[in-house]
Structure 1
């Protein structure tokens, strides 16, 4: 899909439009560092105006990035989605109830499908979309269908924030001849009725989405409570194990102290025995020498 008003891409690696396209395909967490890197490269190459444009690029929200990713990754589906928006706006301008009914049913189904695709693409790129972000993606897609300016912004592939759909589709029908006051009144009532029906449909969809988010949050809350309970059990078990280990450690320290005392006593006993042994050896040697001396005297 070619972006409206964009230059054709050539082989020039310094094409600022191509650089901006690459930048808006970058996940939000890496957007600012990559932007500064690309701007610095443009300044180094002497392209001051390109550097200014790159530096002015605004970091997209996660929902805006997912919508950009959807446009780039699903060009055929995105083109058909833009065509559906054209058909819906034309049906509302023409006040064609049958076309509006049929296309509105397609709108709800296709917006839901496109939102799921955006979430899947974001997950493949390493980012899980929360229910709130999914809601923002759907808001942007609904705006694209209802508002031609929003459609042009999305088709450019450089959204930086969520688009908000108007309260109702444009329904002003061009007239080739002046209408009678009664016809004008009838058209005005039809326009108001169609606007109320559209507003009611949006309100019901918003209520359904809010109910689904509430159910999801309750499920997450229940899962979090269960996880907390498991963590508490593991913590209690760990405390018990620590207390048992500390008790064993205290007991082993007492055993070690007793062993140290026994060791000290044994060393003392060893020293005493060694001293006694040395004295006994000296006395034995002296006695042996005395025996020898007396023996020699007797022999004389």
Structure 2
């Protein structure tokens, strides 16, 4: 819809359209996207139409993360601020700050994922355990990755966002503790320091391997969820097809019944038409007989009068 001055109205703003789309449940996304893209093309807004049409249907986990962002704006802002603080602490290699913020991270990620599940359930789309784990993975990515944080802040998450490997769950635990200043040690300190560095390097590699394994498991869960979603979509399509067949069968039965009634009505009409013709024929014959009787009565009356006159 356009304003009287010809300029696009608020409902034609492409950003508003995208916000609207990503607030919808995944099952309603594609139909509304095509409707909005068609409206943009009708309004000769070709670039807007292309951008709208390019929007990807979110997974159930992506939709739940977007729902959480929109439904809990204050908590979402605090969560984003925690992510900035955690990234800053990691960048400055402050182990004490990392451990404190990591504890906050685990608690708030768990709490917010539960809120997302509750919101989705209230909206009529309960989350499976696998989908809720994908939401948790996305929330961890929001804390670790500024690009993921920007996507979630905009409320346009499409799928599972994965935290970077160097900022995973084990990175904080692997961070070395910062020690207070100690008195000068004997020359053996160099050997001890070298051994500690070697141990820390081995621990870092172990943490990286575990993080890669975690990511692989998360990607496998995401792939499994996508497979389940595709199966659900196919099952819904098959059910819709079955319902359409059933409606077609019922409509065919109604048509057959109506055609039968129509045939009976036509037969009845033909019968009554024939009866009407016969009644008209009988009425015409009776009228002719009545007229003939009238003429005979008049003739008899005339003869009777003539006889009386002749007798006089």
Q: TM-score, normalised by structure 1?
A: 0.55
CA distance in 2, matches of 1:189, 1:91: 23
Mapping 1:198-213, distance limit 5 Å: none
Tell me how far 1:195 sits from its aligned partner. 7.5
Residue 123, structure 1, aligned to residue 101, structure 2: no
Residue of structure 2 in register with 1:92 after alignment: 90
CA distance in 2, matches of 1:158, 1:191: 38
Tell me how far 1:46 sits from its aligned partner. 2.1
Q: Is the CA contact 2:113–2:136 (under 8 Å) kept in the aligned structure 1? A: yes
Structure 2 residue corresponding to 1:166, chosen from 144, 147, 164? 164
CA distance in 2, matches of 1:150, 1:105: 21
Residue of structure 2 in register with 1:41 after alignment: 39
Mapping 1:48-63, distance limit 5 Å: 48-63=46-61
Residue of structure 2 in register with 1:147 after alignment: 145
Structure 1 residue corresponding to 2:78, chosen from 59, 72, 80? 80
Gaps of 5+ in 1: 1-9, 172-181, 208-300
Gaps of 5+ in 2: 1-7, 172-189, 218-312
Mapping 1:1-300, distance limit 5 Å: 12-169=10-167, 193=203
Q: Is the CA contact 1:92–1:100 (under 8 Å) kept in the aligned structure 2? A: yes
What SS is found at the alignment partner of 2:164?
A: coil
Which aligned segments of 4 or more residues in structure 1 are displaced greater than 4 angstroms? Answer: 182-204
Tell me how far 1:184 sits from its aligned partner. 11
Tell me how far 1:106 sits from its aligned partner. 0.5
Q: Is the CA contact 2:10–2:16 (under 8 Å) kept in the aligned structure 1? A: no
CA distance in 2, matches of 1:55, 1:88: 36
Q: TM-score, normalised by structure 2?
A: 0.53
Q: Is the CA contact 2:121–2:127 (under 8 Å) kept in the aligned structure 1? A: yes
Q: CA RMSD in A?
A: 3.3
**Alignment deviations for residues 103-139 of structure 1 (CA, whole Å, 9 cap, x no partner):** 0000000000010111111111110100000010001
CA distance in 1, matches of 2:11, 2:110: 38
